[in-house]
Amino acid sequence: MAVYTRTGDQGLTKLVGGARVKKYHPRVEAYGTTDELCSLLGHAISLLDEAHLDLKPELIEVQQLIFDCSRDLAVPKEGMRTYKVTWDKHKWLEERIDTYWAECPKINKFILPGGTPFASCLQMVRTVARRAERCVVYLIDQNEDVNPEVLIALNRLSDYFFVVARFINVKAGEIEIDYENSPKVFSRGEKRVSNNSEPEK
């Protein structure tokens, strides 16, 4: 069986169910961006050092979740396939976020992305998660069927990558650099700051 199919030579691709759409269709953009997210996380995992190899199984589980997001986004109509992303997925992410956040010093300002190569890469992963989230919001605004749990999962994923990056830098002794013009930023009291961007609503 050949890897190439030539079905995309005219700029079209098939969705679940066989519908053919342009490759710039917002649904294709959404699941293509989650594919990019999954791949970039794979690159980040390759940067893990010996001190943090215990994180690898969890990060691979996160990759599996992202792949499930892509799979669900490829379904053009509810009922054509059973969705894979369920509410318990983002609940699990929230538990992991809270665990890592408790290990990090309190902050009340935005911080500049950086630190170790692995942490810096996770900050890049975070930004792609945010972009994937925006793609899904646009897809919903186009009145397309979307598993709502995918949107929630992507939102939590960006927070997850932010706190894991902080956790890694703290353990490595990296000094976090404040954004100099940052206002004081809190989310849900002093519990958590939303992933180095706007405060979470």
Looking at the chain, which runs of residues are DSSP E strands?
A: 12-14, 20-22
Tally Cβ neighbours within 10 Å of residue 53.
10
pLDDT at res. 136: 98
What pLDDT, in 10s, does the model give residues 19-59?
777 677 899 999 999 999 999 999 999 999 888 899 999 99
pLDDT at res. 159: 96
Domains, the chain, ordered by start: 24-75+83-172 (1.20.1200.10)
pLDDT at res. 3: 65
pLDDT at res. 8: 65
pLDDT at res. 182: 84
> Within the chain, which residues score under 70 in pLDDT?
1-10, 17-18, 22, 186-201
Tally Cβ neighbours within 10 Å of residue 118.
21
pLDDT at res. 19: 75
pLDDT at res. 171: 93
Q: What is the DSSP letter of 29?
A: H
The structure tokens 């990558």 sit at: 161
pLDDT at res. 192: 47
DSSP, collapsed to helix, strand or coil, labels residue 20 as strand
pTM: 0.88
pLDDT at res. 95: 97
